[in-house]
Amino acid sequence: MELALQIFFIVSLIIIIGLFVLQPRRKETFAWPDNYRDLLNDYVMFYANLGEEGKKKFEDRCKSFLSAVKITGANAEVEDLDRVLIGAGAVIPVFSIPDWEYINLREVLVYPGNFNMDFDQHGKDRLISGMVGTGYMQNVMIISKWELRQGFINSKSNRNTVIHEFVHLIDKMDGSLDGVPELLLERKYVAQWQQLIQLTMEQIRRGESDIDIYGATSPVEFFAVVSEYFFEQPETFRFNHPELHEMLQLIYVRK
Ligand SMILES: [Zn+2]
């Protein structure tokens, strides 16, 4: 009787352990808020302009991004709208690139407002509204909640901070942050792209361009700033900057 009891315990134990080991690990998935479609339609013009099939694809890409990357508030409450907008900012630039993953991003920190180079949220010199980290902040993006929302709420502007930061990540993913996205732009166009950058930066400095002056800071900022304009005001951008438009099409659009 005692032996039977022992065998019973041992067999039970084996079954319990077996169940634990064999159970497929559930991937942590992001739970969409119920009204995510309304949020996307109301705030994200890029999404609103897509057909049914495109919208479904956009949602799937957003979901897989938000399942892979942690979003944390730093003295800011991260609301559903913020999550959806960060997901949208990640998807927009690479929407047409199959299987794109931001392997250089682990976490997005949401600050309430602007911050400075030391990540201070208070005091003077808080001019930065978004950045991608280096050094110990590698694989982390910081974004100001205020600017994140402004980028989508203000439909007349050609600026969008979160898209700007994701463009930096795309630029960085080939190993060098230099304004040339080698993973997306064919080698044969690189020289032409660099020339166009220099030429247009000079135009901006002379005040002969409607591209934001921040774009004249460096080729890196130029690429991010014109990309914002390309995605935020596509028609105006095409009309005012046909050559740049053609180049950004080569970078971002796959047919
Ligand atoms: Zn920048």
Q: How many angstroms is it from 221 CA to the middle of ligand 1? A: 5
Sequence-ordered list of residues with C-beta below 8 angstroms from that of 98, at least 6 positions apart, any chain: 254
Dist. CA 8–CA 21, nearest whole Å: 20
Integer CA distances (angstroms), 175 to 50, 170, 212, 218, in order: 32, 10, 27, 18
pLDDT of residue 37: 94
pLDDT of residue 108: 96
Dist. CA 251–CA 181, nearest whole Å: 8
pLDDT of residue 118: 66
- CA-CA-CA-CA dihedral for 141, 133, 215, 251, to nearest 10: -70
Select from 138, 113, 150 the least CA-distant residue to 128.
Answer: 113
Intervals of the chain under pLDDT 50: 24-27
Q: C-alpha angle with apex 120: 106 to 225, nearest 5 degrees?
A: 60
Return residues with CB closer than 5 A to ligand 1 (ion).
221, 224
Question: How does DSSP classify residue 138?
Answer: T
Q: How many angstroms is it from 131 CA to the middle of ligand 1? A: 7
Q: How many angstroms is it from 225 CA to the middle of ligand 1? A: 8
Q: How many angstroms is it from 222 CA to the middle of ligand 1? A: 8
pLDDT of residue 26: 45
Q: How many angstroms is it from 52 CA to the middle of ligand 1? A: 33
Alpha helices in the chain (DSSP H): 2-22, 36-43, 45-48, 52-68, 80-94, 145-153, 161-172, 190-205, 219-232, 234-240, 242-252
Q: How many angstroms is it from 146 CA to the middle of ligand 1? A: 17
Q: How many angstroms is it from 238 CA to the middle of ligand 1? A: 22
Dist. CA 200–CA 244, nearest whole Å: 9
pLDDT digits (tens, 9 = 90+) for 188-201: 999 999 999 999 99
Q: How many angstroms is it from 67 CA to the middle of ligand 1? A: 25
Within 10 angstroms of residue 208's Cβ, the number of other Cβ atoms is: 10
Q: How many angstroms is it from 138 CA to the middle of ligand 1? A: 15
Q: How many angstroms is it from 255 CA to the middle of ligand 1? A: 28
Can you tell me which residue has the tokens 């009787």? 1
Q: C-alpha angle with apex 228: 226 to 232, nearest 5 degrees?
A: 120
Dist. CA 82–CA 221, nearest whole Å: 24
Q: Are 125 and 116 in contact (CB under 8 A)?
A: yes
Q: How many angstroms is it from 130 CA to the middle of ligand 1? A: 7
Dist. CA 146–CA 101, nearest whole Å: 26
